[in-house]
């Protein structure tokens, strides 16, 4: 689905935050990007989400070179990508259901976000999606009254409802209790298996990456130093990530 080759990101002041990243993301795969603070995890995620430019290197989405794609082609690709912030940006006064229906910036048109106009079958689709993420009983609660874990579920449901093929989540379980964190990770894993969504999560909790990820990518000082199948990492491998 996605191929990156030689992806490098240099800041204007000259610091290199990503160096020659190479890898492939297959459809329906759950990838955990791990590493210490400042290793480049969030920067890589934002580059994949087309929210931050890269200095050089190739990024192909379904075989299409994004840098060479025209404006309309890039727009279509953007709508296939959902980016989840550590703290999901929701419409606080609107219900969980309405948040799913309206969608996030970049997923639906400006007119639809402003007017709230929806198709006749959108409500049922949104309710089905909320049920899939275990939030059917909270559908009519305003976002401002939802817990951290519930807000993450709404953000994921919104991505599903609007057809995201690539879901990128930056530290989605930070601040959650262990039970809620495992629930979120299990839900993302289920999303991969049942819907074929490719999920990439940047995180620092290695035990969750080991338990749920199909692949683990390890970053250190902007370089990809590890790309292994999801499994328990050795003590030596963990030491390389610090």
pLDDT tens digits for 43-52?
999 999 999 9
Q: Are strands 56-61 and 198-203 parallel, antiparallel or unpaired?
A: unpaired
Residue 120 CB: number of other CB atoms within 10 A? 6
Q: What is the pLDDT of residue 125?
A: 85
Q: What is the pLDDT of residue 132?
A: 83
Stretches where the chain sits below pLDDT 70 are 104-120
Contacts with 148 (C-beta within 8 Å, 6 or more apart), sequence order: 87, 175, 176, 180
| CATH class for the region spanning 1-80+170-242 | alpha beta
Determine the length of the chain. Answer: 242
Q: Which regions of the chain carry the CATH code 3.40.50.300?
A: 1-80+170-242
Question: pLDDT of 194-240, one tens digit each?
Answer: 889 999 999 989 999 999 999 999 999 999 999 999 999 999 999 99
Q: Which of 83, 82, 57 is nearest to 68 (CA)?
A: 57
The pTM is what?
0.86
Identify the H or E element spanning 217: strand 215-220
Strand stretches in 2-140, DSSP E? 2-10, 16-25, 30-34, 56-61, 64-65, 81-84
């Amino acid at each position: 689905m996605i191929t990156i080759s030689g992806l490098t990101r240099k800041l204007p002041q000259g610091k290199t935050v990503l160096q020659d990243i190479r890898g492939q993301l297959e459809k329906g795969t759950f990838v955990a990007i791990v590493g210490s603070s400042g290793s480049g995890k969030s920067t890589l995620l934002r580059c994949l989400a087309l929210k931050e430019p890269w200095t050089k290197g190739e990024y192909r989405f379904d075989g299409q070179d994004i840098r060479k794609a025209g404006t309309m082609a890039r727009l279509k690709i953007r709508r296939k990508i959902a980016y989840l912030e550590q703290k999901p940006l929701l419409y606080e006064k609107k219900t969980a259901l309405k948040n799913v229906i309206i969608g996030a910036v970049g997923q639906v048109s400006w007119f639809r976000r402003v007017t709230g106009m929806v198709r006749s079958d959108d409500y049922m689709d949104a309710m089905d999606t909320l049920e899939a993420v275990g939030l059917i009983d909270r559908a009519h609660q305003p976002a401002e009254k939802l817990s951290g874990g519930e807000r993450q579920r709404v953000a994921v449901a919104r991505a599903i409802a609007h057809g995201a093929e690539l879901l990128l989540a930056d530290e989605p379980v930070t601040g959650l209790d262990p039970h809620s964190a495992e629930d979120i990770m299990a839900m993302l894993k289920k999303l991969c298996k049942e819907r074929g969504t490719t999920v990439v999560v940047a995180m620092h909790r290695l035990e969750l990456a080991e338990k749920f990820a199909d692949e683990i990518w390890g970053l250190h000082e902007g370089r990809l130093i590890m790309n292994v199948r999801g499994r328990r990492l050795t003590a030596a491998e963990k030491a390389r990530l610090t």
